[in-house]
Structure 1
């Protein structure tokens, strides 16, 4: 008989943040024992999160109720002595971490991130499984990308890769549906928020249609958007045919924050193709027990970060000025981190497991984000293709061709060199320099690309003299605490530390509003020396710090006046609706 697995989820103590899991394994006779494992990370969020730490009350029995021996062999492995065809595994999962990648349960709802809930049999990720949800009586809805089974509140996954890519929202969320080009889309809003159903449906439909046109086809039979509304939140995580978003409940009433939310929707929906299907070789099939390394996240996340706001522009939500402001943020973010001189986009991708999700007080000095740097490289590539081909091709054409070749035809991941070759074949444009820049600390001259379509990257701080200590200060409870020290700044060279309490400079008491600090820096000249009174670990001391020239950038992207009509036409094509 073919082995089968059936999970049952119950919630006897949702107010205490628990889900009880029963795993019924039938007709599995391969060995004298079974190793049951739980993933330690979530695809799309590249950090070992140690989900097994939340497992409690693990037990195994035969179907006649006889307890079977089980013991742990590693942090995420439970070995079960297996001399029965059918066994029942029971365990509870504690879930009380609010994020798009971790489970959260309380009296009002349960959000289940499957990697931290469902165990698998080692070596048998390909087995299908069924899931039955037994919600408390006061919960009435389930939102998920899983396929519905024939019985109420039951679902089916063809294998564990699909199960792990299909989170569940269970509770009383506000749900409604709409179709875009024949594909039904469900919206699920969790928590109180002032949104307009019809407006959201109309606006998101535009985004979906625009992305369909970029990629050429939509791979889904159905799609689910789940948004968790909090007082303060922003983020998302992509899945095979769903996404989990987090937003402030006040997002929808203000134009700027609402457009940012639509950009988040565009970003996560773009991942349907870019990373969930078109992907580097290393990103699938997954090893759920350890890091899956790739240097290609600058393509997967960086290109997606370039397109999210561009799609909002193409849909008409951003005007040209607003879009260019958003694009300039990527340049300011990268070039105002000293770490851009130490870490390439490719290395940022590779080191995401130890850096991106584990920032510390020195991260800005040692690293960049492949999101921002990848977006910068993507715009350079897009503009070069547009200019070199006089608008015949653009980056859209590369992505569509790559999706067709690597996913639809060959159904495999790609290597970066393969993507480069395909991009050059499709467009006839030499893109080697831009791909090399992703793996190098040598910076591109981005104005070479912007100028060819009639725009320029302008640093408004260039030629200006701004004195700085090179510190970032947080004011709390009447104290001013140093939170960052910039590499090679006066503070760095003079020995100021993160967590030093800043008391006074040149005899001026530092106030919580920062007015004294601003006044001193305004009056100081570059290379002046100031006396800084600090408290470090309860000891008061004075340090002499040299004020240096600020190297902070203030970029904007602006149209070049009086350009040739042909150049202006290329810029219009780039930013066209």
Structure 2
């Protein structure tokens, strides 16, 4: 069988440009069409990666072949005869997006997702692909290596592990599902349930404790593998590869992650990573471990267990599904739960993390207006395009979705007296829809909303339809207080702070305090404060950065004051009656002593 041949090279590192070619042996006789994805799976926003193509041409038989641009991301080559030989498309990609989603190149490293650099050969995307990954020219880059979970090609030109050379993929979908990092990264490995896992860090991190990171990630990975495959302890990516790669870009304040079938691209803050000799587990390090846990869980939940709308992916346009509460929300529930089950956080720390998530959802009035199913469906236009009114209009299918998972898990455990749990639901989804997803010859299919609902009842033996619809399609509050009580956890409404509040969010900008968001029901909204206002003074005292909360602490709810703001460079005087923060907040704690249901849940 013929294959599609790609090649990519860092061309001008100082100008952040990759050079890419794609060679097609048997182009469409009517004129071959090439298309670049408009979005990347896992990040539900149209990003128009084709805008970064700065030069493109086609050649065949020693001559240039005319190209016609069909739309913002597609080109068609003029038909060529069989005697003209293969069609070669050559183009340059500007890569200056330091994120987990696209591509970035400079003199220190290179990174790309295939969806942002490799054009799809329309009608031939089912064919095997090879990609030659070239090293940058020059002695200064002699020690660069390659990190990717993409399998090395066999035969002449085949790459050695971590080396430049030829790699292979079964089809275009696999080609773009293995990001690539190149440079002088730190590298370590561990085995989880007998399978190799590699850990890659790009960026300077003095005294980085790779041994501790590997030890902790091993526990996370093994707990997840055994949860889905309790009998075989078989890692899911063995269907197409033999290892998993955590690749992390370290910056001053970065955070983010994007899942792939046998790897994940991560960003984290330098201060979140442990230094050699540290024994404490900082909040930042817990955040990093939770991020790794989240993306690793996606190896099952969304990379193989998929919503039906994503089979196959339609990367030229938005693809709508109401099920992201399951694929992102449930993953957000399990990421920290796995930390508790492995002992990487204590019970007390875990319930504090639950409280933080719960209180964060309660602070936004959007939860009373949008369900998590609607939030998922509207991810393209609302969640990923948030504006100043976001807290008042939308709810996160990540955070509230994790609370939905929590409520369902505790409900199932209580009503079945511990015989069943949400773990059983996830295993059933895996067995029916995910385990054989990438198996040779398997018919790939995703799960529908109706099938998800039916599965809950079938697996648990309960009638959960009304509860599931209320949690996912409704906007009511989630009744966590009595559920917690059944597991030896106490949730109490926090006494409001004595000081007053404006009910706004701010940011510092050029020495000023600018209003970024105004919350529903707050004193600021009632007084007419608007997003974008520059706060000047409260009762004649300048509001310098960091001073607003200190000044407000001198007031009590019900006190009146004068707020001076600049709006469009015009000074406004706003009389304001100060109030308490409008959101109800909870303090959650573990009751003393062992509790059997809690032990079964958290595994302690």
User: Which TM bucket (shorter chain)?
Assistant: over 0.9
Contact 2:369 2:393 in 1 (8 A): yes
Aligned pairs (5 A) from 1:171-186: 171-186=183-198
User: In the TM superposition, what whole-angstrom CA distance separates every residue of 1:493-533 from its partner, at most 9, and x where no partner exists?
Assistant: 33211121222223333233315x6434542432x442222
**Does residue 1:258 correspond to 2:312, yes or no?**
no
- Residue equivalent to 2:340: 313
Q: Which moved more, 1:128-137 or 1:2-11?
A: 2-11
- Residue equivalent to 2:477: 443
Deviation at 1:443, TM superposition (A): 2.1
SS in 2 for 1:282: helix
Q: Does the C-alpha gap of structure 1 residues 520 and 66 become closer, same or farther in structure 2, counting only changes over 3 Å?
A: closer
Give the whole-Å Cα distance in 1 for the aligned partners of 2:104 and 2:508: 32
- Residue equivalent to 1:329: 356
**Does residue 1:146 correspond to 2:150, yes or no?**
yes
Deviation at 1:401, TM superposition (A): 1.2
Give the whole-Å Cα distance in 1 for the aligned partners of 2:272 and 2:245: 20
Give the whole-Å Cα distance in 2 for the aligned partners of 1:15 and 1:553: 52
Aligned length: 567
Give the whole-Å Cα distance in 2 for the aligned partners of 1:298 and 1:317: 26
Give the whole-Å Cα distance in 2 for the aligned partners of 1:177 and 1:559: 36
**Does residue 1:532 correspond to 2:563, yes or no?**
yes
Contact 2:491 2:588 in 1 (8 A): yes
Contact 2:347 2:590 in 1 (8 A): no
Deviation at 1:265, TM superposition (A): 1.0
Deviation at 1:396, TM superposition (A): 0.8
**Which residue of the other structure, out of 362, 365, 368, is the alignment partner of 1:338?**
365
Q: Which moved more, 1:49-58 or 1:131-140?
A: 131-140
Q: Does the C-alpha gap of structure 1 residues 46 and 479 become closer, same or farther in structure 2, counting only changes over 3 Å?
A: same
Give the whole-Å Cα distance in 2 for the aligned partners of 1:13 and 1:509: 49
SS in 2 for 1:378: helix
- Residue equivalent to 2:514: 481
User: In the TM superposition, what whole-angstrom CA distance separates every residue of 1:426-481 from its partner, at most 9, and x where no partner exists?
Assistant: 1213322432121111223222321222223322136x665322222334444222
SS in 2 for 1:154: strand
Give the whole-Å Cα distance in 1 for the aligned partners of 2:541 and 2:78: 72
- Residue equivalent to 1:574: 601
SS in 2 for 1:67: strand
**Which residue of the other structure, out of 39, 42, 64, is the alignment partner of 1:41?**
39
**Which residue of the other structure, out of 489, 494, 499, is the alignment partner of 2:532?**
499
Q: Does the C-alpha gap of structure 1 residues 87 and 475 become closer, same or farther in structure 2, counting only changes over 3 Å?
A: closer
- Residue equivalent to 1:355: 382
Give the whole-Å Cα distance in 2 for the aligned partners of 1:477 and 1:259: 33
User: In the TM superposition, what whole-angstrom CA distance separates every residue of 1:223-266 from its partner, at most 9, and x where no partner exists?
Assistant: 11111111111111100111011112222236222222111111
Q: Does the C-alpha gap of structure 1 residues 460 and 7 become closer, same or farther in structure 2, counting only changes over 3 Å?
A: same
SS in 2 for 1:9: strand
- Residue equivalent to 2:440: none
Q: Does the C-alpha gap of structure 1 residues 95 and 344 become closer, same or farther in structure 2, counting only changes over 3 Å?
A: same
Give the whole-Å Cα distance in 2 for the aligned partners of 1:177 and 1:469: 50
Give the whole-Å Cα distance in 2 for the aligned partners of 1:141 and 1:394: 44
Deviation at 1:82, TM superposition (A): 2.0
Give the whole-Å Cα distance in 1 for the aligned partners of 2:476 and 2:213: 43
Give the whole-Å Cα distance in 2 for the aligned partners of 1:204 and 1:508: 51
Deviation at 1:168, TM superposition (A): 0.8
Give the whole-Å Cα distance in 1 for the aligned partners of 2:181 and 2:412: 42
- Residue equivalent to 1:267: 294
Q: Does the C-alpha gap of structure 1 residues 181 and 513 become closer, same or farther in structure 2, counting only changes over 3 Å?
A: closer
Contact 1:465 1:550 in 2 (8 A): no
Aligned pairs (5 A) from 1:40-439: 40-62=38-60, 64-85=61-82, 86-136=86-136, 137=138, 138=141, 139-150=143-154, 151-152=158-159, 153-193=165-205, 194-216=207-229, 217-220=234-237, 221-253=242-274, 255-256=281-282, 257-408=284-435, 411-436=444-469, 437-439=471-473
Deviation at 1:207, TM superposition (A): 0.9
The CA RMSD measured in Å over matched residues stands at: 1.9
User: In the TM superposition, what whole-angstrom CA distance separates every residue of 1:64-117 from its partner, at most 9, and x where no partner exists?
Assistant: 321111020100011101213411110000001100111000112110111010
Which ranges of structure 1 fall in alignment gaps of 5 or more residues? none
**Runs of 4+ off more than 4 Å:** none
Contact 2:521 2:582 in 1 (8 A): no
Deviation at 1:339, TM superposition (A): 1.1
SS in 1 for 2:420: coil
Contact 2:501 2:552 in 1 (8 A): no
Q: Which moved more, 1:343-352 or 1:539-548?
A: 539-548
SS in 1 for 2:201: strand
- Residue equivalent to 1:452: 486
- Residue equivalent to 1:523: 555
SS in 2 for 1:246: strand
Give the whole-Å Cα distance in 1 for the aligned partners of 2:199 and 2:346: 27
TM-score (norm 1): 0.94
Deviation at 1:374, TM superposition (A): 0.7
Deviation at 1:411, TM superposition (A): 4.2
Q: Does the C-alpha gap of structure 1 residues 53 and 447 become closer, same or farther in structure 2, counting only changes over 3 Å?
A: same
Contact 2:556 2:579 in 1 (8 A): no
